[in-house]
Amino acid sequence: MKGGMQQSQRMGQELRANPRLYQAMDMLYMPLLDLQQHLKQELLQNPFLELVEEEDDEIVESPSAELSEQNTPDPEPEPGLPAEEREDDSRWEEILLGGMETGGVSEQSDDREPFERVTVESRGLDDHLRDQISLLDLSERDRLLAEEFIGNINDEGYLAASLDEIVHGINEVLLRAAEQTDEEREVPLFGLADAQRMLAIIQGLEPPGIGARDLQECLMLQLPGAKLVGTLAERILREHFQELIAHRWSDIARRIGCTPSEAQAAADEIAKLNPKPGRAFSSGDGNYVVADLVVEKIDDEYMVFTNDSNLPRLRLSRSYQEIARDKKRFDAEHKEFITSRLSAAQWLIQAIEQRRQTMLKVMHFIVDRQRDFFERGVQGLKPLTLREVADAIGMHESTISRVTNEKYAQTPRGVLPLKFFFSSGLKSADGEDVSARGIKATIEKLVAEENPRDPLTDQALVEILGRDGLRIARRTVAKYRDELGILKAQLRKRL
């Protein structure tokens, strides 16, 4: 078989996306703080963009108005750019609002390398424990063992390894270090007694309950700080832990010699202790929530505004436009640079305005649909899906998903994520749609107002909801109750 290279021509159609469309989609996806940083970065990179200062005589009402007022030269076609891609620039809104359905690629096939979200380093539980160990009068050998303990404490504050495993692990480290240094003298290894002694030191650190090996030990370590040592609560926790978990107050009372009410009161004191003491020091996302939209009630009407006062206000630089007009001064390479930068600046300003208009459209529809929520609270929330919003305002569902991603609205009912307004629903007896979130709020309210001596069972909740015209299965009520973190009726009962 003879090998070689050959050329062939083939005609066909394929979906392509201008990189600027990716930029426009990314801007839809960005929360307010991310967009601020993005625009500041674009200001540094593109000389055709300039910041509109407050003291400027000519105030630009909107980016799109700025573009219409500018008598800018039409940029020359970019060299080597196919006519089809140049046409995409003129109909970018259609492509963007169509969710890349026209002339683009879907999100699933987007193989671009994503930008990593980098969080600011923060001090965690291990740093807090090391700070306390550094203040203790310990030998270098004990500090090494303490570091092994700290490394085995999880985010909830529990010791995630047994004492035998810790001893084995630290001894391996010592032996490996001795082999690397070729020391002939015998290495003093740690024993179980050393681990038990260090465990007592670790469990004496803050927060109380740290370094426990199980829930019972964690709560026992917190008794001195809560001044419960020598009380009925300590005895129940130490001797009848399983009955305590199961809320078997009668069994506890019979074995200890107290009344069930006294056993339950002691359990209430135990419930005030922290079952996960390490959570207070767990490093988490420290981002602040900034509302992208504002909803205000003015003269019995709910008005929607964008919270973009802190966004950099951009316009095309007049000085650079004057330079760009004299095309004879530049060679082909410079013309290509000027054309691409000017076009990118125009695109960015249009994309900012398009993002603003798209968010307003989506929020206006949400406010109209969820007016009962703003008037009556969560019980008035109606079911809503991304598809419904997309169909109502003529946009693609993926566009609505980008618009509502990590966006918040400041409303008369508080600062809420836009995703809050979307939920599944059920049909009431009269055919009206009822939001699942509204049903949960109703269940939560009913439980809060129930007689603690005779709590509402799941079946009782079904019957109450049914009297209000809401047909719902008992298993659905149980599911919603579990999601709300509400115990079963028999565990909520007070004596």
Asked if the model's pLDDT at residue 98 lies above 50, the reply is no
Average of pLDDT values for 156-167?
Answer: 93
CATH code: domain 425-492 is: 1.10.10.60
Sign of the four-CA dihedral 62, 64, 66, 68: negative
pLDDT at residue 222, rounded to an integer: 95
**pLDDT, tens only, 183-237:** 566 778 899 999 999 999 999 999 999 999 999 999 999 999 999 999 999 999 9
Q: Cα–Cα distances in Å, from 305 out to 37, 309, 317, 360?
A: 21, 11, 28, 7
Summary count for the chain: helices (H), strands (E): 23, 8
Length of the chain: 495
Q: How many CA atoms lie within 13 A of 486 on its CB side?
A: 23
**pLDDT, tens only, 407-455:** 899 999 888 989 888 876 665 555 555 677 778 888 888 888 888 888 8
What lies within 8 Å, CB to CB, of 72 at 6+ separation is: 316, 321, 342, 346
Cis-peptide, bond into residue 19, ω within 30° of zero: no
Q: How many CA atoms lie within 13 A of 164 on its CB side?
A: 0
**pLDDT, tens only, 314-369:** 888 777 777 767 666 666 667 777 777 888 888 888 888 888 888 899 999 999 98
At the topology level of CATH, where does 125-213 sit? Arc Repressor Mutant, subunit A (1.10.10)
DSSP, collapsed to helix, strand or coil, labels residue 302 as strand
Instruction: Give whichever of 136-145, 180-189, 486-495 has the largest mean pLDDT.
Output: 136-145
pLDDT at residue 263, rounded to an integer: 92
Single out the residue of 417, 343, 341, 433 nearest to residue 380, CA to CA. 433
What are the tokens at 377? Answer: 């609270």
What are the tokens at 258? Answer: 């107290």
pLDDT at residue 90, rounded to an integer: 41
> pTM of the predicted model, to two decimals?
0.53
**CA gap 73, 316 in Å, rounded:** 12
Return the residue matching tokens 């900012």. Answer: 352
Asked if the model's pLDDT at residue 122 lies above 80, the reply is no
User: How high is the mean pLDDT of the chain?
Assistant: 77
Sequence letter at residue 46: N
Average of pLDDT values for 165-190?
Answer: 80
Residue 251 burial (C-beta neighbours within 10 Å; 0-12, 13-18, 19+): middle
What lies within 8 Å, CB to CB, of 113 at 6+ separation is: none
Average of pLDDT values for 11-15?
Answer: 56
Q: Are 225 and 208 in contact (CB under 8 A)?
A: yes
Instruction: Supply the DSSP string of 58-90, one letter for each residue.
Output: S--S-HHHHHHH--PPPPPPPTT--HHHHHHHH
